[in-house]
Amino acid sequence: MDLFERLQGVKVLLVEDDQWVRDSLRRYFANENCALMVVETGEDALEIVKGNDCDIIITDYRLPGMDGLEFLKRAQKINTKVKKILLTAYMNEAVISEAFRLGVHEFIEKPFAIEDLEEVLARILEKKIVVNGLGTA
């Protein structure tokens, strides 16, 4: 089954301050008939998480206001089942260990190709299927 067929009905939230990345990924998902909620800040993202049952959060590490790890910490308190992906150009031991402590499931190092995102999303969906015992897609 195609990745985007498997993403049908999955609520994915992207938190990214780079407008080009937000717009590009929003268009890419739309071309594949999948919805992608996009916001610029962690504060805006928390409002989305409070009002929606997100399945997957993709967040940049460096954001205006609170950083991506602080956002994930707060989002985890609202939705403990959400799968978390961290985008970062600042892959270092401190960021990685804090991300693991917060239960980040996957990392994507910037700059990234769309194939990198697709691979990570496929792994996240596989983990979800295994964890929930829903069988194979």
| pLDDT digit string, tens, across residues 37-93 | 999 999 999 999 999 889 999 999 999 999 999 999 999 999 999 999 999 998 899
Angle at the Cα of 61 from the Cα atoms of 40 and 100, rounded to 5 degrees: 135
| Mean pLDDT, range 108-115, rounded to an integer | 95
Instruction: Provide the residue range defining the domain that includes 34.
Output: 3-127
89 is a domain residue:
yes
98 is a domain residue:
yes
134 is a domain residue:
no
Q: What is the CATH number of the domain that holds 89?
A: 3.40.50.2300
Q: What is the pLDDT of residue 127?
A: 79
pLDDT interval class at 128 (50, 70, 90): low
Question: What is the total count of domains within the chain?
Answer: 1
78 is a domain residue:
yes
135 is a domain residue:
no
29 is a domain residue:
yes
Model-level pTM? 0.90
137 is a domain residue:
no
18 is a domain residue:
yes
